[in-house]
Amino acid sequence: MKLVVSLAQMAVMAARPEENLKKSEDLVRKAVERKSDLVCFPEMWTTGFAWDRSAQSVRANEKAIERVSEMAKRYRVWINGSLCAPNEEGRASNTSVLFDPKGACAGLYRKTHLFSGMREDEHMAPGNALCVADAPWGKTGLSICYDIRFPELFRTYALKGAKVVLSPMAFPYPKLHHWKVLVRARAIENQIFMIGTNQVGSEDLGTEGRLTYCGSSVIVDPWGEAVIEANETDEVLLTATIDIGRVDDVRKTMNVFGDRRPGLYELG
């Protein structure tokens, strides 16, 4: 099956959800004009990280989720990205939601690996479950940014039948090289499509300093080749067509899963 994907690489305005949502709708409209089936946004794309404001206004952020749901329904398109949203206990959680063209939640994943280096663990509640969503193009795993450093998550998704993993990102300098290597490694070792959508621009995190995001949003195919890739600095809407059948073709070429020795691995 062919899937048309648009990556919305954008600079997020901290604690200004209305402006971010307006920009997002313009990008969704353009993506639909390009016949996109799926539009992907970065990590925390409606608020940025602005801990002092986004976590405190977590209930208000529910309105942003409703807006994105309405957007998906209005434009009849799948939408993914991560937002600050309340979990079951009402605590702020970095949450990736996959909306279907009816505006329904087809998959929800709360970030399980919180980045202590940016004090995310002090402001966000961690998720306790993974998510493989059913979509017309095949099973799709949800992950968020720092998760890319934990290969067990992606192998679990592959073993559960995922052919695509969506990764909203807020990857900063000086870690651009890490991002480029890790996203390709996760695609190659699991023979899946990795779709990573990163932020650009800068954000002031107060005592944590100022971050500048390194863009380079990318779709990597199961052989590790970039289908399409953005530059490091520009806000851009990238659109590409991928053939999900490529996953099965690569897995027939190299029998990684059949050659595994799970009885030998110690993953405690």
Active-site residues, by number, are 43, 111, 145
**Exposed, middle or buried: residue 48 (CB in 10 Å: 0-12, 13-18, 19+)?**
buried
CB atoms within 10 A of CB 235: 15
Q: How many CB atoms lie within 10 A of CB 162?
A: 24
Beta-strand relationship, 226-229 and 218-220: antiparallel
Alpha helices in the chain (DSSP H): 17-33, 51-54, 58-75, 120-123, 151-159, 176-190, 245-253
Q: Are 238 and 226 in contact (CB under 8 A)?
A: no
Q: How many residues does the chain have?
A: 268
Positions of E strands within 143-235: 164-168, 193-197, 199-204, 210-214, 218-220, 226-229
Task: State the Cα–Cα distance between residues 152 and 186, nearest whole angstrom.
Answer: 10
